[in-house]
Structure 1
Amino acid sequence: MGKSTHNSEKPEYFLLRPEVEKAYGYSHAVKIGNHIKISGAVSMDDEGNPTAVGDLEQQMKNCYADLDKILKHYGCTFDDVVKEDVFTTNMALFLEHAGYRAEIYKNHFPTGTWLGVKELALPELMIEIEMEVYKTN
């Protein structure tokens, strides 16, 4: 019999900003086995206040900075991302700045969906990025 994988399949939850996440009612990431699901990252400070208000490009960079922290927590990089979904309140503006993603994904792009939405959790937020990761051992 091989090594039991029972323990590795137990969900591991990670909170990037525990106070904010508890207030809104979500966990920023959960790892089950080799799979990690990451909640949508937005441009906010540690108190949950929107940052880079009115600047979609900087909001996008702030999202990726938070996502990078979560990936590092699990010993991952953007190379391990297999799905990336982007939600934006201004698709035309996002498309102008989407080239920045080539600095994030240097080796290959993940699968993903880009959705234009009417609004996000707070009116100042213009972009939200969520990810799924597959971590190889």
Structure 2
Amino acid sequence: MRTTKFTLLAIALVTAMSISSCNEKTKTETTVEKAVSTETVVANETPDYFLLRPEVEKAYGYTHAVKIGNSIKISGAVSMDDEGNPTAIGDLEQQMKNCYADLDKILKHYGCTFDDVVVENVFTTDMAKFLEFAGYRTEIYKKQFPTGSWLGVKELAIPEFMIEIELEVHKAQ
């Protein structure tokens, strides 16, 4: 009889703790739900398209930059003139500088600088040559370097292009 009373007491205690535990979980879930659902704002953001060289971009079928909210995606810049002809042929260092000059024009259009760049991807047909001149980037990125990748590729859109640089930007409010 004594064992049965002890067993019943143990079962009652475990049941009480379980019910208490369930109530605590419900209180915690409710608190978390309230915290999560207090400020959800969804804005209707229309893309803002920017064409650096409208005729060239139309002919090749791309837009050089698109801004949505605080994010700006910039297509790969290459070394070309306003008619789309390659410039600085055979000179990777100058092509790289020409790319950054075009990227700077786009950043300025949106009121940004290279300090706002969060991703930089570099595509080059000559990685060894690029690495030789990569130090130039310290003149571009004065505060910090963005994330990104450096990729050696077989070819770019036009055979004379040796480098292409694309960016992602976060414009602080």
Q: Given the alignment of the two structures, is residue 5 of structure 1 paired with residue 30 of structure 2, yes or no?
A: no
Higher strand share: 1
**How far did 1:5 drift?**
3.0
Alpha-carbon distance in structure 2 between the residues aligned to 1:135 and 1:10: 16
Aligned with 1:70 (options 94, 106, 128): 106
**How far did 1:75 drift?**
0.2
Residue type of the partner of 2:101?
Answer: A
Percent identity of the aligned residues? 81
Larger radius of gyration: 2
Deviations 1:64-108 (A, max 9, x none): 000000000000000000000000000000000000000000000
Residue type of the partner of 1:80?
Answer: D
Residue type of the partner of 1:33?
Answer: G
* Displaced runs of 4 or more, over 4 A: 1-4
| 1:111/1:4 CA distance change after superposition, 3 Å | closer
- Give the paired residue count: 135
How does the TM-score come out when normalised to structure 1?
0.96
5 Å-filtered alignment, 1:82-121, equals 82-121=118-157
Structure 1: state its 5+ residue gaps. Answer: none
Higher helix share: 2
Alpha-carbon distance in structure 1 between the residues aligned to 2:43 and 2:143: 31
How does the TM-score come out when normalised to structure 2?
0.76
RMSD value, Cα? 1.4
